Amino acid sequence: MELKQIIADNIGALRRETGMTQSELAEKLNYSDKAVSKWERGESIPDVTVLKSIAELFGVTVDYLLTEDHAPAEVPVPVSKKKMKFNNHTWITCISILIVWLVATFVFVMFDMITPHLFVHWLSFVYAIPVSMVVWLVFNSLWFNRRRNFLIISLLMWTLLISLYLSLLTFNIWQIFVLGVPGQAIIVLWSRIKVVSE
């Protein structure tokens, strides 16, 4: 097999094994996703310094990237550690969101026991939705794809508006949803802004 294709296959396999997208790899290497795509298709080869950076990123040697057949013992341990770290971050995020729902359930039960004549206890679950979005936003900003933040912020805004509407249901203020239109426009425009590194 041609050297270009060997390097292409190895980069692609390592990237997929870590659950990384081409855009995320490109961002870590300060290259465009088009460059990464060309490397993985075997249309071009990264220069030596980039190969060294890729090897360090995936916890392998440059020689690993240049060789075709890898013995089972050669499979890089740091790659699986990165995948494990990603999985741990996912579980921590899910557990944190479930804690929000545990608190909402606790509040529901307490209000139902103390003031059973009031019928607004269910609002604790309604407000758990935007709070869950806040938790998801925080962990997504720390560990995951930050481009997803715009979707989460949109969900946060709309679930918060729905929660306020349901809280003030007796007043029937449907106009509160009109606030979401310019809010959504701002989020969409904000997502189009590209970060330029100096």
How far is Cα 161 from Cα 126, in angstroms, rounded to an integer? 11
Q: Which amino acid is at 99?
A: I
Q: What percent of the chain has pLDDT over 90?
A: 27
Nearest C-alpha neighbor of 26 from the set 137, 149, 145? 145
| pLDDT score recorded for residue 61 | 87
**Residue 26 near residue 32, CB atoms below 8 Å:** yes
Q: What is the domain partition of the chain in residue ranges?
A: 3-75, 79-191
Whether 159 shows a pLDDT value over 90: the answer reads: yes
pLDDT of amino acid 91:
93
Q: For residue range 160-183, list pLDDT tens digits in order.
A: 999 988 888 777 788 888 888 898
pLDDT one-digit tens code per residue, 130-158? 999 999 999 998 888 888 889 999 999 99
Q: What is the rounded average pLDDT of the residues 16-21?
A: 86
Q: Is the pLDDT of residue 78 over 70?
A: no
Give per-residue pLDDT as tens, 97-115: 999 999 999 999 998 888 8
Rg, C-alpha atoms of the chain: 24
In angstroms, rounded to a whole number, what is the distance separating the alpha carbons of residues 31 and 34? 8
Q: Which CATH number fits domain 3-75: 1.10.10.10, 1.10.260.40, 2.60.40.290, 3.30.2080.10?
A: 1.10.260.40
Determine the Cα angle at 3 with ends 45 and 28, to 5°: 35
59: phi > 0 → left, psi -120 to 50 → alpha, else beta; which? left
What is the pLDDT, as a whole number, of residue 73? 46
- The Cα–Cα gap between 122 and 54 comes to 51
Residue-averaged pLDDT of the chain: 85
46: left (phi over 0), alpha (psi -120 to 50) or beta: beta
pLDDT, tens digit, 9 for 90 and up, residues 37-76:
999 998 888 988 999 999 888 888 888 888 887 654 455 5
pTM recorded for the entire structure = 0.55
